Copies of this chain bind each other. A is one copy, B any other.
Amino acid sequence: MSYIEIIGFLAAFCTTISFLPQAVKTIRTKNTTGISLSMYVVFTVGTFLWLLYGIMYHSAPVAAANLVTFIFAGTILIYKIRYK
C-alpha cells in the first residue's frame, strides 16, 4: 500500500468515526440545541447518496464507510427532530 493510500484510509477512518462521539453525546444528553437541523438533513441525504454511489460504482470502501456514517448521522437527526 502506498503512503498516499494510507493517508486516504486514515482520512476515511477519521471522517467516518468522528460521528460516533457526537451520536453518543446526543443520545446521552438529548441536548440538541447547538446542532443544526439543516446540516443533519442535508448530510444524512448526502451519506445515503454516497452509499448508493458506492454500491453502483462497486466501491466497497465508499459504500461501507458511508453506511456507517449514515447510521450515525441518521441517529443524530432523529434525536434532533425528537428533542429540539
Contact = CB atoms under 8 A, between A and B. Distances in A.
Interface residues of A, number: 41
A57 to B, nearest CB: 6
Contact of A14 (B10, B35, B49): B49
B33 A14 contact: no
A26 interface: yes
Contacts of A39: 18-22, 25
Interface in A48-69: 49-50, 52-53, 56-57
A40 B22 CA distance: 9
> Which 6 pairs of residues, A with B, have the shortest CB-CB distance?
A14-B46, A11-B49, A15-B46, A18-B43, A21-B38, A34-B34
